[in-house]
Amino acid sequence: MSRLLPRRFWKRWGKCKYQINVLRRPVIQFGIYYAYWTHDWDVDFVPYIARVKKLGFDILEVNAGTIARLGSKQREKLRKTASANGIELTAVVGLTKEFDISSEDKNTRERGIGFLNRIADAMHECGIRKLGGIIYGMWPGMLNDFSTEANERERAWHRSVFSMREAVKKAEDLGLNYNVEVVNRFEQFLINTCEDAVNYIDEVGSPNCKVMLDTFHMNIEEDSFAGAIERAGNNLGHFHVGENNRKPPGYGHIPWDEIGSALRRIGYDDTVVMEPFLMKGGEVGRDIRVFKDIMPNTDMDREAEKACRFLREKFA
């Protein structure tokens, strides 16, 4: 057939194939966590929406625990402001000891399931479709907070899976995704690698329960950034990014080219949220262990804007 068509046809077809491939490339949405700018976890998120829009982001990530405590009018204002600015909202939380769904205590586990259900209802009102974080146990949570017995991790794991099977029903009903965050061993003991997370969601057995990776934690725990991303594959539901030193992307040794290539290989076309922490003090500095200003006298907005452009280039 190729002999019957003129050369100009094939030149034009080559250009068309290139344009089709460009159109098929995954389109990632980029965001930033509100606590980049704050010392406290509970704040009014509304003023940050126009700010992140101006800086070039698509997403503002908020504290799920805070929105669970908002009234209906406050949730409506948050949703409408985000919609008016063309900003998507995502939510993240680390369960406290009071709501630990892996706890030995049945009442604590039930409170945790109830808390996740209240978060789900609040997310639905706010127009938020995605929850991430340490939603499978308490944060921070060390194994010796529970027991020194050899099999305690396995028992906590099964309690958490059983609880998540119950909690995720609400997410299924409301069309939400729960993304279990893989974190380092110094912050939690249940899910420290992508392999752990994949095994966990397999046991939960819900299409609404997915994996959340974070480059800061991957730098500590994974053998390979690309290997972990490829292991998550279609189960990757949310992705946090930040440098090894908690600075914005571009100021450390995280291999961004490798990560971008791996995301393209799995066809990831969802949410990437930047989560740097630069300021000491307050609840955020205390809980994240930021004991000094990491980038003193810096223009926070300028650095956020620069990091957003950096990520778009690396992950394009």
Contact between 238 and 130 under an 8 Å Cβ cutoff? The reply is: yes
Angle at 114 between CA 46 and CA 133, to 5 degrees: 55
Contact between 160 and 137 under an 8 Å Cβ cutoff? The reply is: yes
Cα separation of 123 and 129, whole Å? Answer: 7
Q: Helix/strand/coil (H, E, C) string of 184-214?
A: CCCCCCCCCCHHHHHHHHHHHCCCCEEEEEE
- What pLDDT is attached to residue 20? 44
- What pLDDT is attached to residue 21? 44
Cα separation of 222 and 64, whole Å? Answer: 27
Q: What is the mean pLDDT of the chain?
A: 93
Instruction: Please tell me what DSSP assigns to residue 58.
Output: S
C-alpha distance from residue 39 to each of 36, 61, 217, 290, 306 (Å)? 9, 16, 22, 11, 22
Look up 195 and say whether it is catalytic: no
For each of the domains in the chain, give its residue range(s) and CATH number, in order of start.
Answer: 28-315 (3.20.20.150)
Catalytic residue among 61, 88, 181, 222: 181
- What pLDDT is attached to residue 191? 98
Catalytic residue among 187, 221, 222, 275: 275
Residues of the chain with pLDDT under 70: 1-26, 144-150
Cα separation of 269 and 287, whole Å? Answer: 31
Each residue's pLDDT tens digit, 168-183 = 999 999 999 999 999 9
Instruction: Please tell me what DSSP assigns to residue 140.
Output: S
Please name every residue paired with 212 in a beta bridge, in sequence order, or none if there are none: 181, 238
Each residue's pLDDT tens digit, 18-34 = 444 444 456 899 999 99
pTM for the whole structure: 0.91
Cα separation of 179 and 170, whole Å? Answer: 14
Cα separation of 162 and 21, whole Å? Answer: 43
